[in-house]
Amino acid sequence: MKKKVILLMCGSFNPVTNMHLRMMEIARDQLQHYGFIVKAGFFSPVHDKYPKDTLTSITHRVAMLKLALETSDWLQVSTWESEQTSWIPTYNVLNHHQERINDLMNSKNMKVSSQNNVNNINHNPNQCDIIVKLICGGDFLSSFSIPNLWDPSHINQILEKHGLVVVTRSGYNISDIIEDNDILYKHMANIMVVNEFIENTISSTKIRKACLRHRSIKYLVHDKVEKYIQAHNLYSSKKYKYENNIKDSIRITANLFNEFKPNSSIINKKSVDNFKNNSKNKLSSKKKKVKEIGRVSRRLQNLKRGHNKSPQP
Ligand SMILES: Nc1ncnc2c1ncn2[C@@H]1O[C@H](COP(=O)(O)OP(=O)(O)OP(=O)(O)O)[C@@H](O)[C@H]1O
Ligand SMILES: NC(=O)c1ccc[n+]([C@@H]2O[C@H](COP(=O)(O)O)[C@@H](O)[C@H]2O)c1
């Protein structure tokens, strides 16, 4: 029997770009090619309390997602995550969606079985035949290796119970990221890599920058999203000028990690000295951003602690 899946993408969507939409499309193509049935795709915008200075209010981010998805017959926004009282870890978001699907499937099965007058339903409520998989880009995958950003047990469960669909992103070597992380390596079979063969480096950061500089964003975001941004004068405030967001920090940290990886063929004194000098320069110029990741990690830890104290959503 073909396996059925639902794709769930978690992120800021600040704003949603054409690349977010394309990621879903190319992931569905590949999953179907491998014999899966993709039932639906959900975008779950992160809570306003996620510690990112540049986050635009959820009302705008959801409105833009809805406009961008108006013409899709299989993609939708899920606002559950953003409607909670505070930020919640991605694993809990995934879990919530899986539980809702399980409930739905169970009630459907109940109906069918009672219609058929079958007494023994023989259905395990914990075993659903639709799996919610997390879809993300290469940078998101590399964030699993940032100390204190993720609870290792969450990474384990995401991979064990759900599985990941990772879309390649320029600057991120997926096989290296997996090779360097014990948990990812252990669950490699549950990570499907989708190669974006038409290289696309659109990011929300670049869109915000373009808006700040009054440059066109046409064909990078949906037309209606472009109009919405203009109508609400989003991303034009000075705070975006100096934006130093978590994603940049992740990118930088990840790049630094990649460079620290020993490569036997280049290890000699000269290359080590060159490397040290380069790293020093990079470290000083990017010092602020790397510091930011520590700050964000600590805030996330605090949020997580707070979250663990409160009842499960
Ligand atoms: N060009 C891209 N290629 C591959 N993955 C992408 C791309 N743009 C976004 N993603 C992925 O989309 C998901 C949601 O991303 P997010 O909303 O953080 O967008 P972003 O463009 O990376 O944002 P920002 O630039 O604000 O950090 C993440 O898993 C991210 O890795
Ligand atoms: N421990 C965690 O569950 C954890 C840590 C960091 C980011 N995230 C998620 O990753 C996404 C990151 O979005 P950005 O790439 O826009 O920062 C958000 O949905 C956020 O909730 C989850």
User: For residue 150, is it left (φ>0), alpha (ψ between -120 and 50) or beta?
Assistant: beta
Q: 280 pLDDT exceeds 50?
A: no
Integer Cα distance of 217 and 28 in angstroms: 26
What confidence tens digit (pLDDT) does each residue in 101-117 have?
Answer: 999 888 876 665 555 44
Q: Are 7 and 24 in contact (CB under 8 A)?
A: yes
Under the banding of pLDDT at 50, 70 and 90, the label for residue 2 is confident
Is 253 touching ligand 1 by the criterion CB < 6 Å? Answer: no
Tell me, what's the pLDDT at 119?
Answer: 39
Tell me, what's the pLDDT at 52?
Answer: 86
Q: 294 pLDDT exceeds 50?
A: yes
Among 149-153, 174-178, 231-235, 247-251, the least confident range:
247-251
Q: 249 pLDDT exceeds 70?
A: no
Starting from the CA of residue 17, give the closest ligand.
1
User: Which of 10, 20, 149 for mutating ligand 1's site (highest number of atoms within 8 Å of CB)?
Assistant: 20
* Dihedral of the alpha carbons of 113, 118, 121, 122, in degrees to the nearest 10: -130
What value does the mean pLDDT take over residues 23-41? 97
Integer Cα distance of 297 and 149 in angstroms: 5
Count of alpha carbons within 13 angstroms of residue 225, beta-carbon side? 30
What value does the mean pLDDT take over residues 278-306? 59
Reference 55, options 157, 208, 196, 168; nearest CA is: 208
Q: 239 pLDDT exceeds 70?
A: no
Tell me, what's the pLDDT at 62?
Answer: 98
Tell me, what's the pLDDT at 253?
Answer: 45
Q: 1 pLDDT exceeds 80?
A: no
Ligand 2 centroid distance, CA of 11 (Å): 6
Report the atom number in ligand 1 closest to the C-alpha of 248.
Answer: 27
Q: Are 149 and 304 in contact (CB under 8 A)?
A: no
What confidence tens digit (pLDDT) does each residue in 178-211 have?
Answer: 999 999 999 999 999 999 988 889 999 999 999 9
Q: 14 pLDDT exceeds 90?
A: yes
Is 54 touching ligand 1 by the criterion CB < 6 Å? Answer: no
Count of alpha carbons within 13 angstroms of residue 48, beta-carbon side? 10
Tell me, what's the pLDDT at 260?
Answer: 34
Ligand 2 centroid distance, CA of 295 (Å): 14
271 vs 230: which has the higher pLDDT: 230
Tell me, what's the pLDDT at 51?
Answer: 87
Tell me, what's the pLDDT at 197?
Answer: 85
pLDDT cut 70: percent of the chain above it: 71
The size of the chain, in residues, is 313
Starting from the CA of residue 15, give the closest ligand.
1
Tell me, what's the pLDDT at 65?
Answer: 98
Integer Cα distance of 69 and 15 in angstroms: 13
Ligand 1 centroid distance, CA of 216 (Å): 20
Tell me, what's the pLDDT at 110?
Answer: 66
pLDDT cut 90: percent of the chain above it: 63
- β-pairing verdict for 130-137 and 164-167: parallel
Ligand 1 centroid distance, CA of 167 (Å): 10
Mean pLDDT of all residues in the chain? 81
**How much is the ipTM here?**
0.98
193 vs 291: which has the higher pLDDT: 193
What confidence tens digit (pLDDT) does each residue in 34-93 have?
Answer: 999 999 999 999 999 998 888 999 999 999 999 999 999 999 999 999 999 999 999 999
